[in-house]
Structure 1
Amino acid sequence: MLSPTTHGLESSSSVESPQLCRQFTLSEIQVATKNFDESLVIGRGGFGKVYKGNVTYGTTLMTAAIKRLDSTSNQGALEFWAEVKMLSNLRHCHLVSLIGYCNDGQEMILVYEYMPHGTLEDHLHKRVTSLTWMRRLQICIGAARGLDYLHTGTSIKHGVIHRDVKPSNILLDDSWAAKISDFGLSKIGPINQPCTYVNTVVKGTFGYLDPDYFSMGRLTRKSDVFAFGVILFEVLCGRKAIDKSLDEEQWGLVTWVQDSIEEGRLKQIVDSNIRGRIISPKCLKEFAQLAERCLHSHPKHRPTMAQVVMGLEYILALQEKANGALKPAGRTIFGKKIPVFVFTSSGENSDGSISLKSLRYHLDTIQGENHIFRRFDFDTIQVATENFSEANRVFQLRFNSMYKGRLQNGQDIAIAESFSNRFIENHMREASILVKCEHENLVKMLGYCIEGTKVFFIYEFATNASLHHLLHDPTCIQLDWNKLYRILLGVARGLVYLHKHAPIPIIHGNVRPGNILLDESFDPKLSDLRFATAINESDCVHVNAVSGTL
């Protein structure tokens, strides 16, 4: 049996052996794929066929994509173990998750989370679904975030260069979120400088290869940026990177697009499926300019992927404004312009306290478009917190306590217990906002529990506590500048989302290091929206009392 320690990545000393994925037996894979039944094949690539099947992961039966190495493939053990090692150490919402692998005799099989909407290539070139311009922008942003994480935000000290960025390696989940996949050709980067290169044999896909890398063998993060620039033009034009069905002078997408732009025909090269719809002229111009910067002949003049993300988010904001996506003044979350949750008189007891029956009713009616606000039973959170043990208490205040816990499915949670009407109302306000807002840099509120006279609110748990603790507690890990920069960038993105892209613009009202939580990858999550305020299209709103932190 081949070993990951003998067939790993070059420079693999920076990568630990697999821990977060399980090893499947060949018989388990055969059962999942009905002995590799052709009717279950959902894709084919350079590695081999991909099957859809059901596998057991922990106590859960889940649908998976099962990729089997073809004996005729020019890939082999090196690429197999590179993928296993890489994805076992990387976790990000815009990277495909590796569930496990099988290495039995000549069989090398990779098991991934299943992506119901297939690949970006399917929708651009096989016309599985006609993607709207807005969805194309959102997919590009997700893929760019995934690449940015690979380049600068991984737990691998020197970052990762993907080396095969193309639409068939951008998968789409059930919410159309983009996930970067296929790390068989990936390389550990050099010391953390964007234009420092690795000398390596040229590998990748024609049409996406960085000319500097192809001619000189110098692989950098900017090689991925070049490939992403090609994808941006594919998304805009709906044409393949290389299309030999066309006249020879039009085979290459990049040359054709650059010539067309130089001739003033930018509008004419837009994909016919979206050409007749509203695309802001400014948005179109900015998008084309960003793609061209990615394709600059000199790598040092190309943007970083972090800059690409910011550019795309700006372009999306331009398009949303053109669409009138920001709804007019008067939209509210609670039926009032300033979101203060007020119970009706029938929802209060005679002593002025909140009726638990009324509270349960209002909590049950809080729902987001893609987010179910779950009612937890008390036994579940009691087991999760080991009966609210002192060891699991995060903090205790006069009217509020916080516990950490773990659900039976392995998910870590934080549980806030509120003892006063004011705190309950504040959490209600936060729930009504968070259930309707969804962003990777906002903390998630999962649900609530009412037991007797006790009210609990359940959130996702941040493994690395808050930025305040990491900055000011001498016993905490010291953050290097790259991590600090990524944290600041993530917080800024979260605030841009609240201000510009949330269902209604929101002022957070209490931005401070203690409310910036950090997950296992040190990605920031803005928390504590108890004092958040909804605003209209003007820049200010009058409030009756000042809240926040001096």
Structure 2
Amino acid sequence: MGSLSLIALPPCLLAWFLMAASAVDPATDGYFIDCGSSTNTMVGEVEFAADESFPGVTPSTPRNYVRMGSNSSLQLLDYGDSLYTTARVFNTMVEYGFLLKETGRHVVRLHFFPFDSDTFDLHTAMFSVSAQDFMLFQDHRFKNGLVVKEYSVDVDSNHLALKFIPGNDSFSFISALEVFPAPKEATPEDASVVEMAPKRQTLRGLILETVLRVNMGNVSVGPGDDPLRRNWVADGEFLKHSGVLTLSRIQDVKGTPSQGIAPRSVYGTATMLDSSHDPHLHANLTWNFTVDPGFEFLIRFHFCDIVDPPPESLFFNVYVNSWYAYQNLDLGKLTSEVRGSPYYLDVIATSRGSGLLTVSVGPYADSDIYSTAFLNGLEVMKIHSVTSRLFILAGQRSKWKTVMVISSAVSILSCLVLFLAIYLFYSRRHSKHVCPGKSKGERCSFSDLKSGYRYPLMAIKEATDNFSEDLAVGGGEFGKVYKGVLRDGTRVTVKRLCQSLQREEEFRTEIEMLSHLRHRHLISLVGYCDEQHEMIIVYEFMEKGPLKNHLYGSSLPSLCWKKRLEICIGSAKGLHYLHTGSSKAIIHRDVRSENVLLDQNFMAKLADFGASRTGPEIDQSHVSTAVKGSFGYLDPEYLRSQHLTEKSDIYSFGVMMLEILAGRPVIDPSLPKDQLNLVEWAMHLKNKDQEHEVVDPRLLGQVGDQILCNYMDIASKCLAKSGINRPSMGTVLRNLELVLHLQVQEDNPVRNEEPSPQIDHKGLSATDVPSVQFSMGSIGDFNETSISKVFAKMVRREFRQI
């Protein structure tokens, strides 16, 4: 069941399916499919076509169409009960392919209703779904009730591919799906960022996932009352206040709002503060929403003046997480003085560390005129960054094609042999997972760890106040991170991983690695917990958090250049130890600014070893393994060949060096196309001798031309296309410490009696150091022997880190 095969849809079969679904015009309405059904299904005015004959799999693959068992019950939304009595199940990876008349944004709505059947229990399915090689969700289980997941996908071709990818030894399923063009006004091309006004961020090319649609007035609006079949929940459960008024005057809405924005029933209801006891009350009306922490969200506010009697003024403020989303919003002016005209406002905001998103409206405090504040509707959409792109697919396509060819050319006996070979391959792969310092073939296990590492779940809950949201400091698709205090007063960081087979492997790997590694620039393992299906890792507490937060994307003060250099060197020392500190190199595989943590003194420590692997044997040049890493940092040679060496870490470190220098994300879609990719942009400028344009504007006057040239030379060597041309981590470290030495001399010219090494545009040139003569060409040559002779003399105690 765990075997994967890529199923591409030939154009002739797609055309055949279009004729079978002739009840829907794909050019106008898109595709509406009742999965697993043998007959078409009407839901309101929309006809969902049967896909029993949809050619999504090859004839040799069993067509698993399942029907609800007699013991199951339906407790569903307004989409229609009959839509969920069947489902389609896939044991292998399959692709739904859709021909589109136009490019641009399309709504992808996936319906999942798990039930028991005679052949499958859909509650146990674990799988991932991607669109256009972007991961929509990964290793997910739909355990209870109906789940409708909706995405806005920006498609740049006339073909949309939806891939269903079963987890290990599992399967995937789908109850119904919709694909149709999104009205142009439904999603803006960009929006203002509330924490960084007046900056605007582009949304082109990004996937948006609908998290919530909320109708104010404490009235829900079902799919049957929305032209685009959207579901709007009542706002009552999210309100922070109790003293509110709810309005319902749909007849006061002027005109017909565009169906791509919101239905009349949303604009015709509202929630406002009850000011009947104090007509001059200046207070904010607030709603609290729980979302995934650390992500950006597109937030759309819907306003329509249906207040009766009309207020003296419609000046009010709009807030997200206590930041201004719009100050002194003049609704009357924005709607051309026509009362009852709909208006909407789009902003982008980041959720707090606890995963709390707070939205407020309030009177304009600087005005003496009483002004009421109200809200009619709200939409929250999670922005999936480009790091969600599926890298693995690129490396696996050749494998899947090979599997298809073999399966079509050999007999059943050969298939059995193939499955046996796969089993032996994975068994051998797992047997090669060794602990640092252990002999070849000897696996790590939790029994190898010191008894003091394992913590009871009760102690972890006590340390984090039962995983209180107030103590959450970060998170993402992997899980959540909390700060905590153990009973003995030790401050710790607690990472609570989501349940999945992939996370279980990363959990074990990280514990095995960290329990055998000790270095000043590696995060220290305090303990772990694996009770009651929990996967929890406890680390030392790092006061300043990830390096990334000090470079961009937060309100933290900017780091000075010398401090950035010291952090870069500390990270290099930790990585150098991984590559050389045990009998076999340890390859981190996910070096990036988010995985460099800073303590209270800004000392850097590498973290997150879930993807780490031991390096090749002495008689081998590389380790063959599936590609893992982060978009923008990933070694292109490793991605192409799936051959992993320490030089893949060197490439990622070079990317992080540029990130530290530039103080911007590695991939930034908000920038012009030629600046979107930091590596390509920086190397282009270096080749034109314009390195100074890469430097973070906040470092103005801190980075001298010679030091900048030297630093960029090191980074460019790390980013060489071929791993064999990249330096070792020890060489990178020594050269970075030389740069720091030069920086200290430049900052303190009076204190330093030694002559400063002369640097030209190529790198370092020969100079004299007291009592020692050394000669060094361009840093690009990385003359390790010559550097090591003078290294101890040049690096003084004030900037030695170990």
TM-score, with structure 1 as normaliser? 0.57
Partner of 1:252: 677
| Aligned-residue offset at 1:206 | 0.7
- Mapping 1:320-339, distance limit 5 Å: 320-324=744-748, 327=751
Distance (Å, rounded) in 2 between the aligned partners of 1:277 and 1:237: 14
Matched, 1:11 2:433: yes
Partner of 1:286: 710
CA contact (8 A) 1:196 1:220 kept: yes
CA contact (8 A) 2:590 2:629 kept: yes
Partner of 2:663: 238
Distance (Å, rounded) in 2 between the aligned partners of 1:20 and 1:309: 36
Distance (Å, rounded) in 2 between the aligned partners of 1:93 and 1:50: 22
**How has the CA–CA distance of structure 1 residues 328 and 251 changed in structure 2, closer, same or farther, with 3 Å as cutoff?**
closer
**How has the CA–CA distance of structure 1 residues 197 and 8 changed in structure 2, closer, same or farther, with 3 Å as cutoff?**
closer
1:28 aligned partner, one-letter code:
A
Distance (Å, rounded) in 1 between the aligned partners of 2:581 and 2:644: 19
Distance (Å, rounded) in 1 between the aligned partners of 2:788 and 2:527: 30
Partner of 2:687: 262
**How has the CA–CA distance of structure 1 residues 189 and 328 changed in structure 2, closer, same or farther, with 3 Å as cutoff?**
closer
CA contact (8 A) 2:481 2:493 kept: yes
1:29 corresponds to which of 435, 454, 460: 460
**Is the radius of gyration larger for structure 1 or structure 2?**
2
Partner of 1:212, secondary structure, is helix
Structure with more of its chain in strand, by fraction? 2
Partner of 1:316, secondary structure, is helix
Matched, 1:502 2:776: no
Q: Deviations over 1:108-134 (max 9, x none)?
A: 000000000111101011242210000
Partner of 2:542: 115
Partner of 1:133: 561
Partner of 1:185: 611
**How has the CA–CA distance of structure 1 residues 22 and 239 changed in structure 2, closer, same or farther, with 3 Å as cutoff?**
same
Partner of 2:529, secondary structure, is strand
| Aligned-residue offset at 1:320 | 1.1
- Alignment length, in residue pairs? 335
Matched, 1:271 2:734: no
**How has the CA–CA distance of structure 1 residues 69 and 300 changed in structure 2, closer, same or farther, with 3 Å as cutoff?**
same
**How has the CA–CA distance of structure 1 residues 257 and 9 changed in structure 2, closer, same or farther, with 3 Å as cutoff?**
farther
**How has the CA–CA distance of structure 1 residues 211 and 100 changed in structure 2, closer, same or farther, with 3 Å as cutoff?**
same
Partner of 1:163: 589
1:306 aligned partner, one-letter code:
G
Distance (Å, rounded) in 2 between the aligned partners of 1:84 and 1:322: 43
1:83 corresponds to which of 506, 510, 516: 510
1:43 corresponds to which of 474, 486, 490: 474
Distance (Å, rounded) in 1 between the aligned partners of 2:452 and 2:791: 31
CA contact (8 A) 2:432 2:443 kept: no
Partner of 2:667, secondary structure, is coil
Distance (Å, rounded) in 1 between the aligned partners of 2:725 and 2:503: 35
2:639 aligned partner, one-letter code:
F
Distance (Å, rounded) in 2 between the aligned partners of 1:78 and 1:9: 14
| Aligned-residue offset at 1:8 | 7.3
**How has the CA–CA distance of structure 1 residues 113 and 259 changed in structure 2, closer, same or farther, with 3 Å as cutoff?**
same
| Aligned-residue offset at 1:105 | 2.2
Structure with more of its chain in helix, by fraction? 1
1:64 corresponds to which of 484, 492, 499: 492
Partner of 2:486, secondary structure, is strand
RMSD: 3.0
**How has the CA–CA distance of structure 1 residues 47 and 493 changed in structure 2, closer, same or farther, with 3 Å as cutoff?**
farther
Distance (Å, rounded) in 1 between the aligned partners of 2:516 and 2:627: 25
1:299 corresponds to which of 719, 723, 729: 723
Matched, 1:317 2:741: yes
CA contact (8 A) 1:121 1:168 kept: yes
1:257 aligned partner, one-letter code:
A
**Which consecutive unaligned segments of at least 5 residues does structure 2 have?**
1-426, 435-440, 754-783
2:693 aligned partner, one-letter code:
Q
Matched, 1:176 2:602: yes
Distance (Å, rounded) in 1 between the aligned partners of 2:519 and 2:731: 19
Distance (Å, rounded) in 1 between the aligned partners of 2:663 and 2:643: 30
1:160 aligned partner, one-letter code:
I
| Aligned-residue offset at 1:327 | 1.9
| Aligned-residue offset at 1:262 | 1.9
| Aligned-residue offset at 1:245 | 1.6
Matched, 1:144 2:572: yes
Distance (Å, rounded) in 2 between the aligned partners of 1:269 and 1:145: 25
Partner of 1:184, secondary structure, is coil
CA contact (8 A) 1:15 1:89 kept: no
**How has the CA–CA distance of structure 1 residues 250 and 21 changed in structure 2, closer, same or farther, with 3 Å as cutoff?**
farther
Distance (Å, rounded) in 2 between the aligned partners of 1:169 and 1:98: 15
**How has the CA–CA distance of structure 1 residues 75 and 140 changed in structure 2, closer, same or farther, with 3 Å as cutoff?**
same
| Aligned-residue offset at 1:77 | 1.1
1:179 aligned partner, one-letter code:
K
Distance (Å, rounded) in 2 between the aligned partners of 1:491 and 1:265: 33
Distance (Å, rounded) in 2 between the aligned partners of 1:173 and 1:74: 32
Q: Deviations over 1:148-201 (max 9, x none)?
A: 0000113xx2120000000000001111111000000000111358x9211000
1:252 aligned partner, one-letter code:
N
CA contact (8 A) 2:432 2:442 kept: no
1:136 aligned partner, one-letter code:
R
Identity of aligned residues (%): 39
Q: Deviations over 1:198-220 (max 9, x none)?
A: 10000110100101100110111
Q: Deviations over 1:31-73 (max 9, x none)?
A: 11111111101111442111000114xxx420000000124x6
| Aligned-residue offset at 1:282 | 1.1
Partner of 2:564, secondary structure, is helix
Q: Deviations over 1:459-497 (max 9, x none)?
A: xxxxxxxxxxxxxxxxxxxxxxxxxxx9xx999866543
| Aligned-residue offset at 1:251 | 1.9
CA contact (8 A) 2:632 2:667 kept: yes
Distance (Å, rounded) in 2 between the aligned partners of 1:113 and 1:491: 37
1:167 aligned partner, one-letter code:
S
Q: Deviations over 1:88-124 (max 9, x none)?
A: 0000000000100000122100000000011110101
Partner of 2:590, secondary structure, is coil
**How has the CA–CA distance of structure 1 residues 21 and 135 changed in structure 2, closer, same or farther, with 3 Å as cutoff?**
farther
Distance (Å, rounded) in 2 between the aligned partners of 1:188 and 1:490: 28
CA contact (8 A) 1:15 1:85 kept: no
Distance (Å, rounded) in 1 between the aligned partners of 2:535 and 2:429: 12
CA contact (8 A) 1:95 1:180 kept: yes
**How has the CA–CA distance of structure 1 residues 108 and 293 changed in structure 2, closer, same or farther, with 3 Å as cutoff?**
same
